[in-house]
Amino acid sequence: MFTNKVEPTRHEVPNEPGEWIAFRPLSWKQLEDAKQARTLAAIKVAGQIPSEIYERMAPLQERDETSDLETTDEYDRAAVLSASIAEWSYADVELTPENIDGMDEETSAWAHGIALDLSLRSRSEGEGFAPNSNGST
């Protein structure tokens, strides 16, 4: 399947009656790029933390290795949203990377989750796309 050929699916924006955003699933390359962007950002931040503080934080940051499900935190939000949002209902706001970056925290976090739900294969089921539980229309 080619993700650029998938018809975008509309999802109602929570707490904004009548507004919607249409998402397209990300390709493997877009997912890899988003993951790499997130990793590079983390490395940049880690390089600014004094080593003694970083050593104290490390045990708190250990990930549960028993889980094989990927989390939204592993993917750069700006990269995911820019690649996944195909259109939106905001008539007075042009769909541009700058305007996507201007979304509020709540809406961008919701949109990030929707985009990844559409894009990541379900690891627990082993096949198909992850089920969509975020109100597609």
State the greatest distance between any 2 C-alpha atoms of the chain, in Å, as a whole number. 50
Structural domain boundaries of the chain?
8-35+74-119
pLDDT at 39: 84
Q: Is the pLDDT of residue 6 over 90?
A: no
Going edge to edge, which strands form the sheet with 9-12? 9-12, 20-23, 85-88
Q: Is the pLDDT of residue 22 over 80?
A: yes
pLDDT at 3: 84
pLDDT at 109: 95
Q: Is the pLDDT of residue 137 over 50?
A: no
pLDDT at 121: 65
Q: How confident is the model at residue 67 (pLDDT cuts 50, 70, 90)?
A: very low
Structure tokens at 7: 């018809």
pLDDT tens digit sequence for 75-129? 999 999 999 999 999 999 999 999 999 999 999 999 999 999 999 864 334 444 4
